[in-house]
Amino acid sequence: MADVLGNFEQAVLLSVLRLGEDAYGRAIFNEVQARLDRDVAAGAVHATLNRLEGKRLLTSTLGPGTEVRAGRPRRYYKLSSPGARALHEARAAVNNLWRGFRGPLKGRV
Amino acid sequence: MTSAMPPRWAEILLHLVLDSKDQATVSGDLLEEFRDSIRPTRGPSAANGWYIRQVIGFVVRSNVVPALLFGGAFVARTAMDWLWPPANFHTRSLISTLVAVSILLVSGFFASWKSGSILAGGLSGLTTTALAAIMSTVSVLALLAIWHDAPTLQAIEDSGGLSEVFFLPLMSIVPGVLFGATGGVAGTAVHWSMRRSS
């Protein structure tokens, strides 16, 4: 079984997946905020990226800097095979929770 | 595009709490967001405020574990003195002092080992003790709300009184910086010797 992912970890991994070749720190930070529809701390995203890389769910490479970054390099992230497996299992777990439920939620939330 | 820079001191703090391999990339990410998005939409002072808040988030996050250990040790010692007062405080004081110093030395070591700067050790000591002071003050107030019977109040008086309980965490901030920096000296030495050998 792959790693069990928390919600924030899933948001970060999905952002990396969605951004594809453009998945570097700032872009992931903005994508996570847009998807979660709230402000998040850059430190939280950075810590999660480091943790996911430590678990080998992500890999990273350095890219060149740009003028707006004062020439500082970008770190690009890519989903690894274990990362893709962990995301797939997280989605399957949620689908499993909802399977067969047909009752209306309207009026209960 | 703007060439504006965030507060210099905040950039220095950010570098101190980051792993040396992340310093350029993470500070570049924040600078890009600051220049491209935050400053044009919110204005200079709100953008500086945004940058400082992000840096504080990094600083707190990097010291939350030693702060929990330090504050937890202080609260545990306080609770023991109140609920199981000893005849002689010497042994407890010795043990709790050694625990506190060890936490500060180790957190200072790792902070400097990561960043490659002695200052990171001092900053780690400062943040650890400041966060622990907040945490222990809140926890001690909670203890007091639970246990305020006559024998406990007498035990509090015998162990140095309430003033000591509230001021000791604040008084530990300056020694905290010194012990953190001491651990930082060793951490910096290891960082640079490892870099040289690799």
Secondary structure, 3-state, chain A: CCCCCCHHHHHHHHHHHHHHHHCEHHHHHHHHHHHHCCCCCHHHHHHHHHHHHHCCCEEEEEECCCHHHCCCCEEEEEECHHHHHHHHHHHHHHHHHHCCCCCCCCCCC
Look at residues A69, A99, A78, A50 and name the one whose alpha carbon lies nearest to residue B37.
Answer: A69
A/B interface, count of CB pairs below 8 Å: 66
Residues on chain A bordering chain B, Cβ-to-Cβ distance under 8 angstroms = 24-26, 29-30, 41-44, 46-47, 50, 62, 65-70, 72-75
Res B85 pLDDT > 80: yes
Q: Quick one: pLDDT band at residue A108, thresholds 50, 70, 90?
A: low
- Shortest alpha-carbon distance between residue B59 and chain A (Å): 9
Compute the mean pLDDT over every residue in chain A, rounded to the nearest whole number.
93
Q: State percent of chain A over pLDDT 70.
A: 95
pLDDT at A35 over 70: yes
**Averaged over B164-170, what is the pLDDT?**
89
Nearest to B28 among A30, A44, A73 (CB): A73
Averaged pLDDT of chain B: 94
pLDDT class for A2, splitting at 50, 70, 90? Answer: low
- A97-101, A102-106, B107-111, B131-135 — which is least confidently predicted? A102-106
Interchain contact B46–A (C-beta under 8 A):
no
Is B17's pLDDT higher than 70?
Answer: yes
Cβ atoms of residues A24 and B26 within 8 Å:
no
Three-class HEC string of B119-186: HHHHHHHHHHHHHHHHHHHHHHHHHHHHCCCHHHHHHHHHCCHHHHHHHHHHHCHHHHHHHHHHHHHH
Average pLDDT rounded to a whole number, residues B125-148: 94
Per-residue pLDDT, A18? 97
Q: Predicted confidence band at B37 (pLDDT cuts at 50, 70, 90)? A: very high
Chain B window 118-147: which residues touch A at a Cβ cutoff of 8 Å? none
Which of the residues A68, A74, A76, A77 would you substitute to probe the B interface, choosing the one with the greatest number of B C-beta atoms within 10 Å?
A68
CB A52 within 8 A of CB A2: no
Summarize the confidence of residues A47-59 as an average pLDDT.
97
- Give yes or no for B54 touching A (CB within 8 A): yes
Confidence of residue B86 (pLDDT cuts 50, 70, 90): confident
Residue A70: closest C-alpha in chain B:
B28
Average pLDDT score over residue span B160-184: 93
Q: Helix B23-33 crosses helix B44-83 at what angle (to 10 degrees)?
A: 130
Write the ipTM.
Answer: 0.90
Mind telling me how many Å the CA of A79 is from chain B's nearest CA? 19
